[in-house]
A and B are shown apart, each in its own frame.
Chain A
Amino acid sequence: MISRFQLPDDRVEKALPDKKPLLGLAEARAESERCLYCVDAPCIKACPTEIDVPTFIKKIATGNIRGSARTIFEQNILGYSCARVCPTEVLCEGACVYNGWQKAPIKIGRLQRYATQHATAQGEPAMFTPKSAPTKGARRKVALVGAGPASLSCAATLTLEGHEATIFERLPVPGGLNTTGIAPYKLHAEDALHEIEWVLDLGVEVKTGMEIGRDVSAKELLDGYDAVFLGVGLGRDTKLGVVGEDGPGVHGAVQWIERMKTLKKSDAKLHLGRVIVVGGGNTAIDVARESALLGAEHVTMVYRRGPDEMSGYLHEMDGARKEGVTLTANTLPHSFVRDAHGKLVALRVVQTRHGKPLPNTEHDLPCDAVVVAIGQAKLRELAKQFPGVEMDDRGCIKADPKTGATGNPKVWSGGDCINGGKEVVNAVADGRNAARTLIAAWSSKASE
């Protein structure tokens, strides 16, 4: 099915089926007809891309599926993957007025998937035609760094307005974490790539295997394009920095997920068995759930503070518990215990109070693998190549959250690299907003 980007067929993630399958016609019709069609609807306000939810749902109810998808894509060009990966429980569905009435909220995510999946199926005619540039010389060129959701959204928005967008991606496949980082029971990599193919068909160009500073310089981009958008995401998994960490059996979470999603079973080497996941965020919960579902003997999450302080979503943790994941809270890794051959045998931990270690509480948690999910490094060196682009104390690129403007008037940015790591839908919103800012600026200049 995927023409431009190939992944092996027998990837580990294929063992994890969709927890929320595509709705059938009757289900979609019945669910869409439950929608009250609220005015000034709270679900719209809860969506970072402000999708007009009641309008797209009513279009499903009337059988206008392509119109429904158009309503979605006009606000969020990655509306298909967002439908599948968004934490709708805390966004649109969490805001549905039915909640207050003690009724089940509308299944907005699943309806959004219904419309977008049908409208972007192979063989469907194009949904959008890019505008031709308004006047001679008005067509601008934008280079985008990193082919994740922020850049794809920015590039598509620019392209549909008649501008030229070229994305430079380090990896052989585009999509960023949408392709390599989403829990498989929400979205498989080939479905993410199918959507990206659809976006590229709008006229967006992506150059894979291109690293800034190696294959192309920041200066070349700044000189050769009217604007540069940095949608570079985050870097490598952060390490614990404790004794014994380097060696077999210890994985970074993002890297572990990427291997599960993109490599053949025989190459992935995930070390299922007794698994410990270190961390309390959503990535930690994802790894824990995936390990449990893939058949790990035992999965526990080691978290430094109390359960109430976890940054992961409650609904995700509830799901993890149902799948057999246990939580070892108020516990801090001390060191990795290895046998004479260097094989990992345990994680040595200490108990904590308010996140601080307590003396004389060291003990060993026997394990076969530890996945460290405590965050990702910032790509400081990459950002530094663009003069004027500043970083905050955390290492995030300083950018206006509404427009993506950075310290360099020619450079814009959005997504995880400015917010430190949020949802796909936030990255999509950032990319789109930066593009809209540029388009507005250029069109007002053209009319002067």
Chain B
Amino acid sequence: MADLTTEFCGIKSLNPFWLASAPPTNTGEQVMRAFDAGWAGAVWKTLGDPIVNVTSRFGAVDYAGQKMMGLNNIELITDRPLSVNLAEIRDVKKRYPKHVVIASLMTETKHDWQVLIQKCEDAGVDGLELNFGCPHGMCERGMGSSVGQEPKLLTEITSWAKEFAKTPVFVKLTPNTGDIVEAGQAAVKGGGDAISLINTIKSIIGVDLERMVPVPRVGQGSSNGGYCGPAVKPIALHMVAALARDEIAGTVPISGIGGVSTWRDAAEFIALGASNVQVCTAVMHYGYRIVADMIEGLSEFMDRQGIANIAALRGRAVPSYKEWGDLDLGYKLVAKIDPKTCIGCQLCVTACNDGAHQCIFTGPGERTRPPHAHTKGKATAPTPLPLGKIAGDRVPWIDEPECVGCNLCQLVCPVPGCISMVEVPGGAHETWNDRVAAGRGKIPGGIHD
């Protein structure tokens, strides 16, 4: 069985699954239940001077019957007294010495940071996470994402924390920035021991059209919140990978956050450079129990792949994350439709015709290609026409010379495995950057032609 233990800035963890700083880590009672369920660590709900919250606080995007594809919140940091939180942290660490507790922190002045860090470390936390990410409420008061968006400020406050901290300092970044690498480098420059990302994305989740008030609604008003959940995973994956491959930001470990819901998501984050992952929305949706499958599924996957431990999985996909200009222009794929499993819905036909390159047809004989086609003459149906076991003569066919291999038909096909993208002989290996270097970067038909 694969070894799922990790060591993160010297902090030993039973597995790579931590709870992110959020409602699931609000109290000691919750955190202990989470540890019992199998979570190896918890980043405590952000500590600072207590605040007051509003009602309501959450809004969600449902998609085609799936609830909470994306979640947005306007809740602030902890609303409980610091002393109560610290007493609970001390208690949790006493009862669960092998589990990791990280204190998420947010405050203003240098002195405040000093006092807060001192108190948390006295309570026995394993590390500190500086919340420079929250994009709602706290940022209006000069904290959270308003720090994360200012590289100089980010560096300075990180260096304050490093000045006072004895435990590792994680800098949690906001995605609400033009260039995440700049923020990552600023964190490293300030002496940060690790980077956590992403925090939530500034968002308005929707509008109550009857009342004409955005949601979540607080009386007759609302405010922008922070967006998270499965919908934000692609944004988070990019930002993790962008830091992982950067020569400055990539020198510190990364705790990957953003829509992690399954072991597969976790494996993707780790493959793109994260050393562990933090989870929030999936737990808010389904509870702490989901971690059992995350542990088992990741372990099974690593065994299948012959990957012995997390360190060996970490960053495996980073080298293949390239600049567009370094991709092979000679590589060629075309779509193939399996008549045996096709159900004849023809979603691929309309997707290709309206949204791609007009190269999927139905029926026998010749079909007229669109006037802009690259290939001369008519498209000809294969003979005999593919007859489906299920779909009969409704099985579409690909006009291969016109297929650009874009994947769209495969993406819309509801039947797993029915449409496959098959490698065909293409051109010699050449990238755009190669062409530019060879002086062939100009394509006829440009602005000045």
Contacts and interface: CB of A to CB of B under 8 A. Distances in A.
B349 A101 contact: no
B343 to A, nearest CB: 4
A441 interface: no
Contacts of B207: none
A33 B415 CA distance: 16
A37 interface: yes
Contacts of A30: 65
Contacts, number: 38
Interface residues of A, number: 15
B390 interface: yes
Given A36-B345, A39-B349, A29 B65 contact: yes
A38 B414 CA distance: 11
Interface in B335-358: 343-347, 349-350
Given A36-B414, A39-B350, A42-B394, A97 B65 contact: no
Contacts of A34: 65
B139 interface: no
Given A29-B65, A30-B65, A97 B349 contact: no
B61 interface: no
B347 A100 contact: no
B391 interface: yes
B64 interface: yes
Contact of A33 (B65, B349, B350, B414): B65
Q: Give chain B's interface residue range (CB within 8 Å of chain A).
A: 10 to 19
Contacts of B347: 36-39
A101 B343 contact: yes
Contact of A38 (B64, B65, B346, B415): B346
Nearest to B414: A36
A313 interface: no
B427 to A, nearest CB: 33
B206 to A, nearest CB: 13
Contacts of A73: none
B66 to A, nearest CB: 9
A38 B391 contact: no
Interface string A57-76: 00001000000000000000
Contact of A97 (B64, B362, B391): B391
Nearest to A33: B65
B390 A101 contact: yes
16 contacts: A29-B65, A30-B65, A33-B64, A34-B65, A36-B414, A38-B346, A38-B347, A39-B345, A39-B349, A40-B394, A42-B344, A42-B394, A97-B344, A97-B345, A101-B390, A101-B415
Interface of A: 29-30, 33-34, 36-40, 42, 61, 97-98, 100-101
Q: Which 8 A-B pairs have the closest CB atoms?
A: A100-B390, A39-B346, A33-B65, A38-B345, A97-B343, A39-B350, A36-B345, A101-B343
